[in-house]
Structure formats: C-alpha cells, structure tokens
Structure 1
Amino acid sequence: MLDFLPFGRKKTPPSSDPLGSLKAATSWLHELPMGDTFAAHEKIVTLLNEFSEKAEPPSKARLQVLMHLDEGAQELQHTLTQQYLRNPRMSRQIESRLWNAVFSFHWQIARGYHMFVMSYVGNPNSSDIRHDIPLITARAIRHFAQQAKCRYFRYETIGAKLWKHVHNLYRLSEYEEFERKPLLIYPKCPGHTTCAEEYLQLLSLDVLNTNSLFPKQIEMVDLWLDSWAAALKLERDYDPQRHVFCVNLGEDKGPRRVRKPPAADSMFRCWGSDALMERVKQTKDALQHGETPAKLGLGEDCRLPTCLEFIDRITQQWSPSGEERVRRKQERIAKVKLIDVVKDFLEICVQVKQDNEALSPKQEEEEQKVKISYEEMLDVRLYGFVTQRTQAKLNQAKQPQPTQQAQQVAHHERWLMENESSSGFGATVDAVHDDWVRLGKLVGLKPERSHNWVVGVIRRLSLLESGQRNVGIEVLAKAPVTVMLKATKPRHSGYTVDGIDAVDIVLPVSALYLPPNAEDKSGVSLIMDSVEYAPGRHFELSARSRSYSIALGRVIEKGDDWLRASFEILQKK
C-alpha cells in the first residue's frame, strides 16, 4: 500500500559508465579536471581506448557517444598542440609526452570512426548510421591526416597502413557519391568542408614534406589549406596540360609529381595546381597591399616579411612549372668519412678562432727564421760570437711545438658522413643520443683530413626505421673568422647602485664573420647571439689586430639562439 512513498521503493542509480549513453558521456566530460589540460586529455584518450576495446556491436547510440567525446576534446587537443609547437627547445622527455598525447587522441578517434565505417560497408542496407556516414568518413580522413601531420613534426615517414586507410575512405566517398557533399565537420568549426577537400589537404601537405619545414611551419600551412584546398579537384582522366600530381588509390603510397603520363588505371586520381596558385597569389597580393594576415585567415604566426618568403617557398613546391621548382643546387657525391661536430655557439667560435690564429707551416718557419737570425746578429755585434743561450733557442725552435689547437680539445661529437656536395654534407646520427639535433641548428664541422672548421646549418631531417636520422647540413662559410663585438652604446637599465648603472659595463661578445657568398648573392654578414641584435645597433668589431666601427643591418636568417645579420662598416680604426 505504501509503495508510492519515496522511502517505499529503491531508486535505480544512474549509470556510472560514461560509454553507456550520450547523457552519461556528457556528465563525465563536465567532471574532467579542466584546470589540468594534460590530465583531462589523458582521461579522454584512455576512455577512447576502452571504447574501441569494448566488445559491443556498432550502433547509433555508440556512435553518438564517440562523436560527442570527439567534439568535447577539440579544445583540449588544440591547447596541447599549441604547447607542443610553441616550445621547440623543450627537453626530449616533455616533447615525447606532448607528442604522444596529441598523436594518441587522433589515433584512437580515427580507429573508432573507421570501425563504424567498416561496419557500414559490411552491411549497408540494414545499417542505422547510413545518414551519418558522410560526416564520420570526413572526420576519419581528418584524424588520419592529423596523424600524418604529427609524423611530419618528427620527420618520420608515413606508414603504408595509414595511406591504405585514407585511400579506402576516399574511395568509399566516391562510390557512395558524397565526396563533394558540403559538411559542417564540427559544430564550432567555421565553414563547410567535403571528404574530397579533407583528402586533398593531406595530399597537398604531403607534397611539402621535404623534411625541411619546422613543425610550426607545417601547422601554419595546414591551417591555410583549410580554405585553399577548396580550389583543388581530383579527376580520373589524366590531362597533361592541367595535371601536376597524381595518386594511386590501390597502392599504400602517397602522391607524386607526374613526370610521364600514368598508365590507364581506374585507381589513378590526378589534380592540377593552377587554381591553387591563383588563390595563393591573391593572398600574397593582399598582404603586399597592407592587408593583415589575421583578416586573411593566415593565423597569428604569419609575420611579415618572413611569411611572404615562406609563401614563395611553398609555392615553388606546388608550382606546375618544373623550372620554378626547388631543385638541389649541387649534385651529391657518395663519400664516407668521419666528421667532427660542435653544437654550442661559443665552442664553434673557439674552434674557428684557433684556426684563425694558427700559422701555416711556411709562415711559422719564416717567422722563426727571421727571429733567430736577428738574435744571432745581435750576439755577434755584442760579443763577437753566438752565445749558448741563443743556440739553445735555435735548437728549441727546430723542435715541433704543440699548438694551441692541440692543447685545447673541443667538446665535439663524431658523425658518419655519407655524402657531400660543394655546399654541404649528408650524415647519419643516432636519434636517441643526438636528441639536440633540430632543423635550423648551427653547427661547427670538421671532416677528417680537413685543416679547418666550417660553419653550417641543419636543413633537413628524416627519421629512419633503424632509429637513426639522416641529417642534411648546408655549409654557410668554409673560411669563417671569429670576431669580437663590443657595443659602443650600452643599454641603460634605469637602475643604479652608487650612481653606476650595471648595464654600462659592456663586455665584448664573440661572433662569426662570414665573407661574401657568390651563390646566394649575400654580402658580408655576422652570425651572433640573437639577444645581442637590434637593427642599426653600433658595435666595435675587432679581428686579427684590426678594428672597425659597424652598424648592424637586416636579419638574413634566424635560428633557435642565433641569427645571421648583414652589417655596414662605418669607420676603419
């Protein structure tokens, strides 16, 4: 009789399983520790793994849970990606944690969507998710593409399995005839996309994967392709007048530039880049006429004028004209030898300085000859004979003396050089031991049997399956000179102790002088610590007992903690 009273019946507790329903997943997302981005993101990845491992048949309700988790994690994923990109000099341990967190999310989400797509392909007629297939196919392609982008960040190769998955997803969109259907891929994502655009965005980014772009540059191009990819169109029939690239949907490989007409094959898809080039040209013209990068949708990392130079660089890779493409300036010659490498800027300056100070054997012999001859002549004039002391000096001078370079041992590493050209070297290094190796890193190099150190920059990186890295190094100067720079106008801090500003105490700093280079048409320049640079700043430059008053010019190139700048000689002292 009293069953209708609250205490007369036992309440059924709500499901505590966040994968049990859309409502439970929503409540679970609201309870995440949003103050700790990494911890919250880690919980989502763990839950996604449980979702895929759960032995339950795909259903509409389960798909809703997966899509909701995907949408709810977008902001966290974006935050972690930005943390990764904005800390290029982080330790290997932190880099690995951030990279794995970002990559694992894309892998788990793509895995989940791919499971539903395969379930639909196996039984399309009785599937209750037929209406959602275009959207989850586009999302799956995007998450596979994001996995590829993460591998580009580390200069790794894209696996055959990923290419097969992406090709098959695009083939499905063609077969079901929704490859060009406009989709709002995420509720908070502005603009519409299509499966074809998502696929072409990955293909276009892979064309730029020359192992010479910084992760931040890769991310920037990926952002631009969100809108630029709409100008591209995949076609089945090859047209030599329009098509530049092609991809084989039946292979486990990425796109390639068409150099000869592909064989008649229903699996080939080709596309041209004329429309893309026109879109890029319009963007570049707008920038040159004063439009802001933000208004053009280029992102906050697009800073002029370097952004214009970068746009020219990627345009060359996409260009349909073979003459305008970036080609290797000099032919590489296979040559195996050991090469000493110095990574610290000050250590590079020390080694170059020792080369500058070392006299050639002929110069040293002439100097000693003149010096001893003068002392012998002085003895004869004073005493009428050469003294034993002078003879001892003569004997000592004939004995080989250890040079300063031999006395000071550089803290260097030794690499195996595999090839060289007139402008650089190719080498193989251990990826774990040499984790400091990054694009844009300045290094000092001394190949075996070479008499002096040269200065180079790491331009290309690629990770091998063996765990080693291929490194491409461009030599900036074969005969650099270490110079000392002393600021003529010190920076004032505004704080004094007993009337003395501590910043007024100006200490000289080391820099590297680079002579003019005919190949890149650059004049004289200096490589220096980036914190010392300011446009137009005056220094007193000292080298080889000479002194000049100089003013710094434009920045030619910038690395992680160094930059190369032009300068003007104001006065010779």
Structure 2
Amino acid sequence: MKAMLGFLTPQAKDATDPLQNAKSAAAWLRQLPALDVIGRQQHVIRALDRMRKEQYAIDLNRIAAIEFVDAALGADRRQLIKQYIENAESSPKLADRIWQALWEMSQEFTLTYQTALESALTQAANARWKAVLPLLFVRLVHFHGTDAKLRVFKHERWIPAKWIELHQIYLRSCELSCDRQPMALPAAGAGAQAWSVEQEYLYVLLVHQLNTGNLGPAEVDWASSQLRAWSRRLALEQIPKSVEGFFVDLAGRSGLIRRNGNDRGSVLRYVDTTPLADAMDRAVGALRDAEATDQGPIAAINQQRLAVLRKIQPALSPSSLSDLRRDPRTAVAVSAHVRIGLSRICQDLTAKAAGDNSSEVSGAAEQIEVFPVAGAPRARRKALVEDDSLAASLSSWSDPMWEVKDRSVAGLRIAATGGIGQSLSLGALVAVRQSDADAWLLGVVRRLNKVSNEEVEAGVNIIADRIVAVMLAAKRRPNEDMGYVVDGLDLSTLGDRFEGLYLPPPSRPDKPLAMKTLIVPTSEYAEGRNVILTTTNSVYTVAFRHLVEQRPDWSWATIQIVEKTARAIGSERGTPSDTG
C-alpha cells in the first residue's frame, strides 16, 4: 500500500546519487578511502558518469556539488602528477597507470562541465543561472588545459577536432560576455586565485607551445607552472598592437601560429608574448646570479631550470629566433634501419660480428676496439622484441624502414609512419644504419615529436660512429680449488655476464671524447667497479670511471684498463692440484 501511494508524499532523495548538492557531496567524499588517491578518483568518475548517463536533472544545487567535488580533488590531482613525474623514468608502467587515471578524471570532468553548461545555457535568461555561466566556462576550459598538459608529457599533439571544440567554447563565452570575468571555485577558499575564460584559454594555447620535443615530464611540469603565473598578464586582441607575436584562428584547427605579416581575418585573435618573454629573461638572470652563491643540491636544480628556460624561449618569444642548431643540417630522404634500446642494439651487432668476423687479425698490436667479444652468442633467429616496430613482431623477415629527413655532423632527424616508434622516449639509446652507408651510428634521442598515433619524428644526437658489442663479466676473486682455465681465461674469476657497447675513441663527433668508454645497463654501473672484458687475444680487467651520461636503463662511462693478460688460444688446463 505504501508503495502504491508513494506518489502522494514528497520523494526522498536517491541515496545512490551523492551529487545532489554540495552538502551531500561533502558527506560522500568523507566516506571514500582517504589514502587511496586513484581509488577515490574512480568512485568520483563513476558517480559523474552515472549522473550523465542516467540524465539526472541539472539544477543549481547539482552544479554546486560538481564544483565542490572539483575543488576537493585538486590536491589529489597534484599528488598524482607528482607521482607520475617521479615514476616516469624509473617505473614507466606504473607511470602509465597514473597518467591514465589523470586523463580519465580530466575527461570525466570535461564531459560533466560540458553537460552542466549546456543545461545552464538553456536557462541563461534567468539571472541565477546566468551568474553560474562564467565559472562553468572557466572550469571547462581549465580541464582542456589539463588534457593539453598530459598530452605534452607524452609529446602527443591534439587532433584538429579537439582544437575546434576548444575554439567554439571560447567563442561562445565571448558571445555571452563571460570571457573576461575572473572566477574561482567557491570551495577552494577565500585565497584561491580567480581565473577568466580568456586566461585559461591562453594558458591552454601556451602549454601546447611546450611541446618542443626535448622536455621531460618534470621539466614540462615546472615550465607549465611558470607559464601559469606569467601568462596572466597576456590578453587576446582583435587588432594587433605589435608586428610580432602570435595569432590564433578561432575558426581553425590548430593553436598558436607565429605572425608572418599576412594574417588577417575577423575570427583571428592576436597575442603579444613580450610580457612573457620579459618574465623569462628576468628568471634567467636571477638563476645566473644564483649560480655564484647557491651551492649543493639547489645549484643543480637552478642549472636544470636554466636549461629548461633556454629550451622553451624560442617557442614563446614574440620574435622568431634564428636557428639555434650548432651544425648546419642537410635535407635528405634516406631510408634507414633503426634499433632501439641497449639490449636490441647489442643483439644485432653481436650477430653481425659473429657472421662477419671470426678473429680477423692477430698480433701484439691488438686493441680492445678491433675485436668482437670471444664466446659471443652465435647468430641465430630468435623472437624479436621490437620496441621500434609493431610490424616486425608479425613477421620474422620484415624490417620496417625509417626515414632520415635531415642530418648533420652531430645529428639526424628520423621519422616513421604506420605506428612504428610510438614507444620511443627522450633519452632512448638508438642505432641507425642509413641505406647510403654501411656502418651503424649510435645516438641518443634528444627531441621527440609524436605527430599522431601513426607518425613520429625524433631528433637523434650522434654519440659514436664506431661501436662494438661486448660481453662483460663481473670480476670475482680467483678460487684455487675451483679454478679452471680455458684459452688462458680463469673461469673462476668470471661473475654474472652482461652486454655492453664499447665506443672506441674519439666518440661524440660534435665534442670528441678522447677516452675509452663503455655503455652498460645502469644496474651494472658503479664507479670504481672492476669487470672483465675478453677479446680474441687478450683478457682485460677494466674499471668504470666517471659518467659521461646516465639514464634509467643505460649508463655511458669512461673506463681505465687495470690489467691486460694475453690469452693462450686453444690451451686448457684444470686446477693447480690437477696439474701438479
């Protein structure tokens, strides 16, 4: 009977809908796991998604609830970004999970604010609804900025449809005169910084300018935080006040474009980045002055920040800076084979050496760089683990080709299409063999541009034009009871083996390095550690010295030859007790 006559009494609020008002949202958030940041976000995503899909009525109380949850999760988003940066190099799989959680939250709030805005626009004639429009526009554009920053972390670019969507939101806010009203989330507190739609929109445009291809996640995060503060002085103008700077086509499919003198149109907006450039110049000056006084860890941080500012200045300066490349580039269109990662490079070079060279020369003048490693694995076909090719895993004979687009003494610009190279990252070790050359070049990815999910470009800094794959072993103390000598090598002194690359001097064409160096897995490097390197005629004990460069998966270090022993090829003996 109660169920039948329920319509006669006011309906109780749905307990499964926590976003009915700010008070219910606050009570619900307090019940969520306090220490599980990702878990709490998943609860919020599900609640927002259910609200949209079940088409709950959007009223002013519900909008207040959405804004309250948005403000409450601000600290969570900052914490997740911090965790992403900390794990980006050391634990890439964990970092990807964190990035995905951030992106899903950004997408859900974007869709939610879009839904709320569409509902509010239908009642814009009502004064109470009109008052909430500016903040809805601000937060909607804000989450487009969050998406932009996440994309720049991975060197990805927006598709044209995303740009069209952003421009339409900004245009709509201008039509309603909401574009320059500073707004802040009420639950963020009295001291929260107010932002206008125009300021958030400009910030989105500028964040995309940080996609220079040579910034890591930590550098992007720091640079974007500086832009957030510096960009507040910028404004979009219908009539340019300077012949320099940028413009954005509000009817276009891209972001900021540098002025060229032919930019005219009613839907163009101009921005002079001179105030931003001045702020960068002041920051550079302050960091340089600090070099004279700051010591310890802060000095290294200042140097890193100075390097970041120098990287982003050309992309944000109101005037087009001259080409900052040290060496002249030659445009080419040359196909090339590319190998990514220390292990894969060693695998290919070792197989080639085993097939091409089995003790080429002998004699007293033997050097480390002349001979491939004795006892290297035989060349045999094995399951490919191709970081630089999805297609290669489908066929044992296919070797997808990259293209060299330009080159200089010290670098190459390589490109691939068809999904090849999407796992490439800054600092990756790569070997490139161009079709018009026989030798492999070894380089490091210094610049990365993921044009789309199908196309990638990379700037490679050449560090060696001669490389030899070597097999190294940790050195142990000889064991007289267990000693067994084969070809002049006491096997009891050999510890765990690992692969490496020997770079004969001089390496690094742009800044020649006259010392002998090795590239080994970072887990195997320790300054002063002795390892054994065997060649055709000799057994070397070498010690790792100072680092030239270090990445999470590889370390490039100078070496010192501690001992060199000639090998008696073909000889074999047992332990001393066996031979008397």
TM-score bracket, shorter-length normalisation: 0.7 to 0.9
1:562 equivalent in alignment to 2:551 = no
Q: For the Cα contact (< 8 Å) 1:527–1:565, is it kept in 2?
A: yes
2:111 aligned with 1:117, yes or no?
A: no
In structure 2, how many angstroms separate the alpha carbons of the residues matched to 1:171 and 1:350? 55
Q: Does 1:37 align with 2:37?
A: yes
Matched residue SS, 2:236: coil
Give the 5 Å matches for 1:335-414.
335-337=334-336, 339=337, 341=339, 343-345=341-343, 348=346, 351=349, 407-409=378-380, 413=386, 414=399
The structural deviation recorded for 1:39 is 1.7
Structure 1 155/509 Cα, relative in aligned 2: closer, same or farther at 3 Å? closer
- 8 Å CA contact 1:246–1:271 kept in 2: the answer is yes
Cα distance, 1:409–1:485 mapped onto 2, change above 3 Å: closer
SS in 2 for 1:230: helix
Matches within 5 A, 1:255-334: 255-263=256-264, 265-290=265-290, 303-326=301-324, 329-334=328-333
Rounded to whole Å, the distance in 1 between the matches of 2:509 and 2:273 is 30
State the superposition RMSD in angstroms. 4.7
Pair 209,442 (structure 1): closer, same or farther in 2 beyond 3 Å:
same
Q: 1:421-461 deviations in whole A, cap 9, x for unaligned?
A: 33325243775x97753221112334467543321223444
Match of 1:251 in 2: 252
- Following superposition, the deviation at residue 103 of structure 1 comes to 1.2
The 5 A counterparts of 1:161-560 are: 161-185=161-185, 187=188, 191-241=193-243, 243-263=244-264, 265-290=265-290, 303-326=301-324, 329-337=328-336, 339=337, 341=339, 343-345=341-343, 348=346, 351=349, 407-409=378-380, 413=386, 414-422=399-407, 423-424=411-412, 426-428=414-416, 436-447=423-434, 450-463=437-450, 467=454, 469-480=456-467, 510=500, 512-513=502-503, 515-516=505-506, 520-524=510-514, 526=517, 528-529=519-520, 530=522, 552=545, 555=548, 557-560=549-552
Q: 1:199 to 1:476 in 2, by over 3 A?
A: same
Q: CA deviation at 1:76?
A: 2.4
Aligned CA distance change for structure 1 residues 342 and 470 (closer, same or farther; 3 Å): closer
Q: By how many angstroms is 1:67 displaced?
A: 0.6
> 2-side partners of 1:566 and 1:233: how far apart?
52
Secondary structure at the aligned position of 1:334 is classed as strand
**Residues matched between the structures, number:** 504
- Name the SS of the counterpart of 1:266 in structure 2: coil
TM-superposed CA distance for 1:248, in Å, is 0.8
Superposed displacement of residue 324, structure 1: 3.8
Deviations 1:235-285 (A, max 9, x none): 2223454x321101122321112223302x121111222221221122222
Which letter maps to 2:332?
I
SS at match of 2:266: coil
Q: Contact 2:85–2:217 (CA<8 Å) still a contact in 1?
A: yes
Q: Is the 8 A contact 1:238 1:262 kept in 2?
A: no
2:25 and 2:519 map into 1 onto residues whose CA distance is: 54
CA shift for structure 1 position 193: 3.2
CA contact (8 A) 2:137 2:173 kept: yes
- TM-score relative to the length of structure 1: 0.72
Could you tell me how far apart the structure 2 residues matched to 1:229 and 1:326 are? Answer: 25
SS in 1 for 2:431: strand
Contact 2:145 2:207 in 1 (8 A): no
Whether contact under 8 Å (1:352, 1:452) holds in the other structure is: no
Query: Relative to 1, partners in 2 of residues 1:257 and 1:309: Cα closer, same or farther, differing over 3 Å?
Result: same
Shift of 1:54: 3.7
* 1:493 matched residue in structure 2: none
TM-aligned CA distance change 1:336 to 1:519, over 3 Å = closer
**CA 1:307 to 1:553, structure 2 compared with 1: closer, same or farther past 3 Å?**
farther
After superposition, what is the alpha-carbon deviation per residue over 1:214-246, rounded to whole angstroms, capped at 9, x for unaligned? 2332222222212121242322223454x3211
Deviates more, 1:505-514 or 1:41-50: 505-514
Q: What is the deviation of 1:332?
A: 3.6
Residues 269 and 513 from structure 1, CA distance in 2 versus in 1: closer, same or farther, beyond 3 angstroms?
same
Offset at residue 522 of structure 1 (A)? 4.9
When the two structures are superposed, what TM-score results if normalisation uses the length of structure 2?
A: 0.71
Matched, 1:68 2:34: no
In structure 2, do the counterparts of structure 1 residues 80 and 551 end up closer, same or farther at CA, with 3 Å as the change threshold?
closer
What's the CA shift for 1:170? 2.8
CA distance in 1, matches of 2:287, 2:318: 23
Do the aligned partners of 1:342 and 1:410 also contact (CA within 8 Å) in 2? no
CA offsets 1:305-364 (integer angstroms, 9 cap, x no match): 222212111112222343445469523422335x15252358539827976997799x86
Write the distance in 2 (CA, Å) between the matches of 1:268 and 1:221: 27
1:154 maps to what in 2? 154
How far apart are 1:415 and its partner, in Å? 3.4
Deviates more, 1:136-145 or 1:421-430: 421-430
Deviation at 1:114, TM superposition (A): 2.4
Residue 148 to residue 312, structure 1, CA distance change in 2 (3 Å): same
CA distance in structure 1 between the aligned counterparts of 2:525 and 2:283, rounded to whole angstroms: 31
Q: Specify the code of the residue in structure 2 equivalent to 1:421.
A: D
Following the alignment from structure 1 to structure 2, what is the Cα–Cα distance between the partners of residues 87 and 460?
Answer: 20
The structure-2 alpha-carbon separation of the partners of 1:67 and 1:163, relative to structure 1 and needing over 3 Å to count, comes to same
Cα distance in 1 for residues equivalent to 2:293 and 2:263: 39
User: What's the CA shift for 1:151?
Assistant: 2.3
Q: Is the 8 A contact 1:342 1:348 kept in 2?
A: no
Structure 1 position 95, deviation (Å)? 5.1
User: Which consecutive residues of structure 2, in runs of 5 or more, have no partner in the other structure?
Assistant: 1-8, 364-373, 387-398, 478-494, 566-580
Structure 1 residues 192 and 31, CA gap change in structure 2 (3 angstroms)? same
Distance 2:474 2:305 in 1: 31
SS of structure 1 residue aligned to 2:87? coil
Which residue of structure 1 lines up, in the alignment, with residue 578 of structure 2? Answer: none
Q: 1:516 to 1:127 in 2, by over 3 A?
A: farther
SS in 2 for 1:455: strand
Local SS of the residue matching 1:279? helix
Q: Secondary structure at the match of 2:20?
A: coil
Q: Distance in 1 between matches of 2:498 and 2:161?
A: 56
Deviates more, 1:196-205 or 1:15-24: 15-24
- Where 2:247 maps in the other structure, the secondary structure is strand
1:346-396 superposed Cα distances (whole Å, 9 cap, x missing partner): 8539827976997799x86xx89xxxxxxxxxxxxxxxxxxxxxxxxxxxx
- Aligned residue for 1:281, secondary structure, equals helix
CA distance in 2, matches of 1:285, 1:330: 31
Identity %, equivalent residues: 21
Match of 1:398 in 2: none
The alpha carbon displacement at 1:31 in A equals 0.8
What SS does structure 2 have at the residue aligned with 1:335?
A: strand
One-letter amino acid of the structure 1 residue matched with residue 236 of structure 2 = L
- Write the mapping of 1:20-35 to structure 2, written as runs, cut at 5 A: 20-35=20-35
Q: 8 Å contact 2:345–2:430 — kept in the other structure?
A: no
Tell me if the contact between 1:317 and 1:325 (Cα under 8 Å) persists in the aligned partners. Answer: no
* In 1, Cα distance between equivalents of 2:13 and 2:444: 61
C-alpha contact 2:404 2:434 (8 A) present in aligned 1 = no
Indicate how the Cα distance of structure 1 residues 520 and 437 shifts in structure 2: closer, same or farther if over 3 A, else same. same
- CA separation in 2, counterparts of 1:560 and 1:209? 22
Deviations 1:485-536 (A, max 9, x none): 9999x9xxxxxxxxxxxxxx9999945436457863454464534456678x
